[in-house]
Amino acid sequence: MRKCIATVSVSGTLTEKLAAIAAAGFDGVEIFENDLISCPLSPEQIRDRAAGLGLGIDLYQPLRDFEAVGPATLEHNLRRAERKFRLMERLGAGMLLVCSSVSPESADDDELAAEHLHALAELAARHGIRVAYEALAWGRHVNEYLHAWRIVRLAGHPNLGTCLDSFHILSRGSDPIGIEAIPGDKVFFLQLADAPLLAMDVLQWSRHYRCFPGQGGFDVAGLVRHVLNTGYQGPLSLEVFNDVFRQSDARRTALDAMRSLIALEESLDRREPGPVIPTGFAFTELTTGTAAAARTPGPSAGDTFTPAPGEAATLVGLLAALGFARTGAHPTKPVEMWEQGEARILLNATGTGAALAAIGLETPDPAASARRAEDLLAPVLPRERAPGEAPLEAIAAPDGTQIFFCRSGRADHPDWTGDFAGEPAPPTVSRPGPVTATPTPPTPPPPGCVTRVDHVALTQPWHHFDEASLFYRSVLGLRPLESMEVPQPSGLLRSRAMAGPDEAVRMVLNQARVGARQTPWQHVALACDDIRSIARRLRAEHPGLLLPIPGNYYDDLEARHDVGPEIRELGLLYDRDEHGEFLHLYTITVGRIFFEIVERTGGYRGYGAANAAVRLAVQHARGPGAP
C-alpha cells in the first residue's frame, strides 16, 4: 500500500521534514498548514522540492471550523476556502482535510452541515480538488466517525468523502466495525496513530501522546482491516503529534515511522511470520575494556568485592564466584566463553569498560530472522569472519546493542560455539586470588546453580524509548507486558517488560532520566531453582559481592507478608503475584553492568519491580551516575 506521513509528525523545518521523510522511503506526505506558513519557499517551490524527492503531496490539512454556521460566517469561510484551494493548486495537492467544527458558533444541525459541505465540495470541484471530512474526537457536535459519514452521505457530492483517523475513533472507544458501513470509495483518506492507554482529556492526549502504530495500546491493525474491507484503495498515512518525536532527529523518527507501517502491513496479513521469532537466549556478550582504554569515571560503585586491577578482572571474578566456568576462547579475537547451565556469557576484552555489547538469540532460521529484521529497517552489521568460522547474522538495535541470530548445537546449521571449542587461549585478564576459574570444560554445576538467562534489562535514552519498544516488539516478536513507573532518587523510572512466545525470551526496557547524558546500567538476570543455596554460598565466600539491602526493607516486608527470617538473613528480595513467588538478589555493579539471580515459583509472571526502587536507591547511594 502507498505509505504517507503528515509533516507534523517529525521535527525541523518543512524542507528538513521532506528530506527525512523521503529518505525513510515514504511515497507521500500530508502537508500540515503551519509547516507551510513558516516555510520561506513558495508553494510551487515546495511542490517541486517534494517531487524531486519522489514524494507526492497527498493531503493538505486542516481546514477548521467550517460547517454549520450563520450566513455571514459561511460566506467568510468559503472565501477562506477559495484561497486555500488556489494555494493547493499551486502546491499540487489534490485533497483537503476538513475537521469537524469545535466552534461555539457551529449549530447542531446535520442538514445545515451537509449543505455547507456540499457548497465547499462544489467549490473544490472547480479546482479539481476533493474534500475529506473528519470527526475530531473533541468536535463540538460531530465527534463520532459514523456521524461524519452520515453528514457526508447527506451532502451527496462526488468531491466529498470522509477521512478516518484511528486516534479519533479508538480514543473515544468507538467500535471500528461500523467502518464497514461506508463504501470504500467514500473513504477518501486514512490517518493512523496509536497512543498509550491514558485516562485524560482527549485533546491533550491527542496533542502530546500519540505514537506510531505498535508503540501504544490501540488495535490499529484491527481498524485498518475494517477499512480495507470497505475496498479502500488510498494510502496508509501516519499523523502523530508527540512531544518527544517533535524534539528528536527527523530522519530517525521517519525511519521509526516507516518501520511501524511495515510491521503493521505484516500484521494485516495475519500470516505467521515464519521461523524467524527467537526461541531463547544463545549468549550475552559483555565488553570488559582493555588495559589501554582511556578510563573515565563511570557509574561503577567503586567498592568492588575484591581488590582488582580493573573492571575486566572484576567481571571475571564475579562470573567465577557466581559459578560460571571458562569453557573456551576465540582463536583470533580477545573473546572468552563462560558457561553455567544453559547460560553463556562472552567476555570481550575491548571497549572502554564493562558494558553489555550484544545479545545472541536462538532462532530456527538465523538468515531468515536477519532478512526480516532488515525488512523492518534494522541496520545489518557487517559480517566479518575468518575462514572456517561459523556465519553469524547480526543487526543493530536502536540503542546500539548488537543482536545476533544463532542456531546453536544443531546438526543442520554451522555451530558458532565451535569457534570457541578449542583450547582456551591464555587468560587475557588476570583473576583475583580467591577465585578459581578453571580453563577446562565445565565441571558439573554445584547445587543451586544458574540454569539459564531469565531476562536482559537494557536502559534506553529517554527520547528513544518508544522507538526501542517498537523495534524489539516488531523485530524480535516480543509482546509488551507490564509497564511500571519505579521511584528512584533521581526521578521516576519508566520500565516496560516484554516477552516472546512461551516467555522464552524476556527483556525489560528502562527509560533513562530525561536529559541524562550518560548511558546507564544494563543487567543480566540469571534464573536458578535454588536461590537460597546460591545466596548462602555467596554470603559465606564472597560477602562483598551482593548489593546490601537495608534492614528497613525487611521490617516493611515482614509487616506486609508472612516471610520467614531466612529472607533477611540471606539478603534476598521477595515479591509475589496471584500466580506465585519471586526471590531475587543483585550483585554489585561493575562498570555499567550488574547481575541479578532470580527464582520463580508457582508461575510468578513479574520482574520484582516492587523491589527495584530499593535497588535503585542503594545503587544511587553507593556511587555516582545513577541512570
Instruction: Please report whether residue 140 would count as binding a copy of itself according to CB under 8 A.
Output: no
From the list 477, 502, 505, 469, the residue with the least C-alpha distance to 267 is 477
Cβ proximity of 358 and 402 under 8 Å: yes
What is the enclosing helix (H) or strand (E) of 165?
strand 160-165
- When the beta carbons of 245 and 405 are compared against a copy of itself, the nearer one is 245
φ, ψ for residue 71 (rounded to 5)? -60, -40
According to DSSP, the residues that pair with 97 across neighbouring strands are 132
Instruction: Please report whether residue 39 would count as binding a copy of itself according to CB under 8 A.
Output: yes
Cβ proximity of 75 and 120 under 8 Å: no
φ, ψ for residue 406 (rounded to 5)? -125, 160
The amino acid present at 407, given as its one-letter code, is R
Q: How far is the CB of 56 from a copy of itself (least distance, A)?
A: 20
Instruction: Please report whether residue 430 would count as binding a copy of itself according to CB under 8 A.
Output: no
Q: Which of 183, 490, 544, 601 binds a copy of itself (CB under 8 A)?
A: 490
Instruction: Return the exposure string of 15-45: e unless at least 16 CB atoms fall within 10 Å of the residue's CB, then b.
Output: bebbbbbbebebbbbbbbbebbeebeeebee
- When the beta carbons of 43 and 477 are compared against a copy of itself, the nearer one is 43
Instruction: Please report whether residue 491 would count as binding a copy of itself according to CB under 8 A.
Output: yes
Subset of 544-563 contacting a copy of itself (CB under 8 A): 548, 550-553, 555-556, 558-560
Instruction: Please report whether residue 16 would count as binding a copy of itself according to CB under 8 A.
Output: yes
Q: Please identify, among the stretches 49-57, 284-292, 422-430, 510-518, the one whose residues bind a copy of itself according to the rule CB under 8 A.
A: 510-518
Q: Which of 158, 487, 501, 603 binds a copy of itself (CB under 8 A)?
A: 487
Subset of 58-117 contacting a copy of itself (CB under 8 A): 79-80, 83-84, 87
Site string for a copy of itself, 447-476 (x = CB under 8 A): ---------------xx-------------
φ, ψ for residue 26 (rounded to 5)? -70, 155
- When the beta carbons of 20 and 406 are compared against a copy of itself, the nearer one is 20
Q: How far is the CB of 142 from a copy of itself (least distance, A)?
A: 21
From the list 556, 565, 553, 530, the residue with the least C-alpha distance to 618 is 553
- When the beta carbons of 1 and 41 are compared against a copy of itself, the nearer one is 41
Instruction: Please report whether residue 246 would count as binding a copy of itself according to CB under 8 A.
Output: yes
Quick count: other Cβ atoms within 10 Å of Cβ 270?
8
Instruction: Please report whether residue 34 would count as binding a copy of itself according to CB under 8 A.
Output: yes
The amino acid present at 175, given as its one-letter code, is D
Size of the site for a copy of itself (CB under 8 A): 59
The SS3 assignment for 271 reads coil
- When the beta carbons of 271 and 560 are compared against a copy of itself, the nearer one is 560
- When the beta carbons of 106 and 162 are compared against a copy of itself, the nearer one is 106
Environment class of residue 140 by beta-carbon count within 10 Å: exposed (0-12), middle (13-18) or buried (19+)? middle
Q: How far is the CB of 178 from a copy of itself (least distance, A)?
A: 27
Report how far apart, in Å, the C-alpha atoms of 3 and of each of 23, 226, 265, 372, 561 are: 13, 18, 10, 19, 54
What distance in Å separates the CA atoms of residue 321 and residue 187, rounded to the nearest whole number?
65
From the list 441, 59, 65, the residue with the least C-alpha distance to 237 is 59
- When the beta carbons of 248 and 522 are compared against a copy of itself, the nearer one is 248
Tell the residue number behind the cell numbers 502537508, with chain if given: 31
- When the beta carbons of 32 and 232 are compared against a copy of itself, the nearer one is 32
Q: How far is the CB of 513 from a copy of itself (least distance, A)?
A: 6
Instruction: Please report whether residue 37 would count as binding a copy of itself according to CB under 8 A.
Output: yes
Instruction: Please report whether residue 204 would count as binding a copy of itself according to CB under 8 A.
Output: yes
Write out the residues near a copy of itself by the rule CB under 8 A: 8, 11-13, 15-16, 33-34, 36-43, 79-80, 83-84, 87, 198-201, 204, 207-208, 243, 246-247, 462-463, 485, 487, 489-492, 513-515, 548, 550-553, 555-556, 558-560, 613-614, 616-618, 620-621
